[in-house]
Structure formats: C-alpha cells, structure tokens
Structure 1
Amino acid sequence: MKNPRKDMANALFSELLMADQLARNRLSKVLPKGMELSHFGVLNLLARQQTELSPAELARAFHVTRGAMTNTLNKLDWAGYVHIRPDWDDARRKMVAISPAGRAARDAALAAITPLIDNAVKTLGEERVRMTIPVLRSLRQRLGEDDGA
C-alpha cells in the first residue's frame, strides 16, 4: 500500500541531495584556484561573525569532526587565510580569526559565485526563492536537532 507521506519525504530528500550535489559541483568549478568549498565556508563564517572562534566551535557550526576542521584550518593557515593563536585563558584551546588575505580570498570567491547564484534566483523567481528559504531553514534546524547539535 502506498504511503503518500513517505513518498513525499523520499521525494524531498532525493531533490535536496541532488540539488546539493549539483550546487557543490557548480560552485567548486567557479571558486578561485586552490579554494575548496569547505575553505570558503569557514572564511565566510569568520567574515560574517567578525570574531574569533575556536576550532571546536567551527566544527560544530559545520557539523564535522574536530579532525576534519583541523585539516581545513591547517590548509587555510598554510595559505595565510587565517590566524590561529593560543587561547589566552586556556592554553589547551586555540582561537581562529580571518586574516586580511583570507578576507580578500573570501571576497574573490563570493564575487565568483555571485553570478551563479544570481542566475539561479533569476531563473526560479525571487518570490519563490524568498518563500523557500524559511522552509529550508526550518528543515536544517530540525535536522540539526536530530544530530544533537
């Protein structure tokens, strides 16, 4: 017997996963040479937050392991895109801030992906996109709750 709710959930997640894959693929192609999506994500968050964050806070924000975040931060540090310093209050922790070079790299990446995103919004229509954002945000928040985040 068909279950419409199950079919709808399956269709929703199938579309989300395929859209995610396609978006990642398209975005990766237009990012500046050597920049990965994970790098852009971290630089973008640090630029928007305008404050230092610990590697653990960054790992939680992106729902990745601390090891994965450490790997990303090491690459960003090597490129000169972030400054990593000891936490003055707890020497076991580190704090991460975006560097001027990191801000410039983030801005260049944003400039590269903006036409792609603008074209998608234009194609779909601003009103449809505006109506979709709260639904996707709620879904993200709900999935984050299930993850223990």
Structure 2
Amino acid sequence: MDADRPSERSLGANADAGKVFAYFNEIGIIAQLSGALLARVLPDGVHPSHFFILNHLVRMGDGKTPLSIAAAMQVTKATMSHSLAVLEKRGFIETRPSATDARSKQVFLTQPGRAFQIEAVSAATLAFQRILGEGDRKIMAESLPGLAAIRKLLDEHRDATPG
C-alpha cells in the first residue's frame, strides 16, 4: 500500500466526520436563522436568550437556581444574573430565597411571565407557519424524534471532555 494514500478505513472515517460536521452545521445555521426570526417577533429589549430562560422554566418547572439555569443555557453565572435581572425588571420572573439553602435563590415565573412566554410562542409559531409549506411540516415532523434523541444525548454529555 502506498504510504501517501489514505486507507479505505480513514476515508470512511473522514466521510463520517464530514457528515457529522454537516449535520451539526445545519442545526447551527437553523438555530441562527430561527433565533433571528424569533428576535423580530419579540418586543424591544427582550432577547431570544431571555425568552429561552422563560421557556426553560415553563418546560422544566419553577424553582430552579440561577446556577442550574446558567448550566442549562451554557452561560456564565454573571451572564445569567444579568438576564434574570432584565426578566425580573419586566415582571416576568421573581427570585426568592431558597427554602432549603439560605445562600441560594430560586427563580419563579410570574403570571405575566407565563403569559408573555405563551404570546411569544404564538408569535414565533405564526411567523414560522407563514414560510413553511405542507412538505416542510412533514419533514419537520419526521425529523423531530431524531433531533430530540440527539439533544438528549448531547445534554447527557454536556460536561464531557472531548477526546
């Protein structure tokens, strides 16, 4: 075998690596484009990152600590503190001392926060529906279970060290 030519095995691994990269690259681009569309339907001063915090609390439940929300959002504690301050100023959340740990706080959605999250989901859904055809919705429905499985896998390994 010629030493300068890659083996069939390495070619296969490179092809798989290319597919893996292409898959996550497409997801990244979709996230960027959908985030930009979401930003256009949110009121001034509310960023998609703020909406994602509200959405996380709706999905995972009230009473999360700022640190656990920061970990879920993959941001620093300082960034999360700023975002929570914005949401609290708007009346969308309230922070309360933890009942079990006096050093910690817990975050709770307010009724206006829940209403805002519902309104934002409705506005984003309407914006997406304007551009999606029936075939697009079918592709999304078929791909959703696979995307959810990949999200779960990545979430389970969020703190894993590459390599």
Asked if residue 69 in structure 1 is aligned to residue 80 in structure 2, the reply is: yes
- TM-score under structure 1 length normalisation: 0.85
- How far is the alpha carbon of 1:113 from its aligned partner? 0.7
Larger Rg: 2
Question: Could you tell me how far apart the structure 1 residues matched to 2:60 and 2:155 are?
Answer: 20
Asked if residue 94 in structure 1 is aligned to residue 105 in structure 2, the reply is: yes
- How far is the alpha carbon of 1:75 from its aligned partner? 0.8
Query: Would you identify which runs of 4 or more consecutive aligned residues in structure 1 move more than 6 Å?
Result: none
Of 20, 37, 43, 1:26 maps to 37
Report the counterpart of residue 44 of structure 1 in structure 2.
Answer: 55
How many pairs were matched up? Answer: 149
Deviations 1:43-72 (A, max 9, x none): 122234443211122122222222221111
Report the counterpart of residue 3 of structure 2 in structure 1.
Answer: none
- How far is the alpha carbon of 1:84 from its aligned partner? 0.6
Unpaired segments ≥5 residues, structure 2: 1-5
Q: Which amino acid aligns with 2:112?
A: A
- How far is the alpha carbon of 1:144 from its aligned partner? 2.6
Question: Could you tell me how far apart the structure 2 residues matched to 1:49 and 1:144 are?
Answer: 14
Asked if residue 128 in structure 1 is aligned to residue 134 in structure 2, the reply is: no
Q: Which amino acid aligns with 1:40?
A: F
Report the counterpart of residue 89 of structure 2 in structure 1.
Answer: 78
Report the counterpart of residue 129 of structure 2 in structure 1.
Answer: 118
Question: Could you tell me how far apart the structure 2 residues matched to 1:48 and 1:9 are?
Answer: 28
Shift in alpha-carbon separation, 1:44–1:147, aligned structure 2, 3 A: closer
Select the structure with the greater relative contact order (CA < 8 A; seq sep ≥ 6): 1
Unpaired segments ≥5 residues, structure 1: none
Q: Which amino acid aligns with 2:95?
A: I
- How far is the alpha carbon of 1:94 from its aligned partner? 0.2
Shift in alpha-carbon separation, 1:25–1:70, aligned structure 2, 3 A: same
- TM-score under structure 2 length normalisation: 0.79
Asked if residue 103 in structure 1 is aligned to residue 108 in structure 2, the reply is: no
Q: Which amino acid aligns with 2:83?
A: T
Q: Give me the identity figure in percent.
A: 31
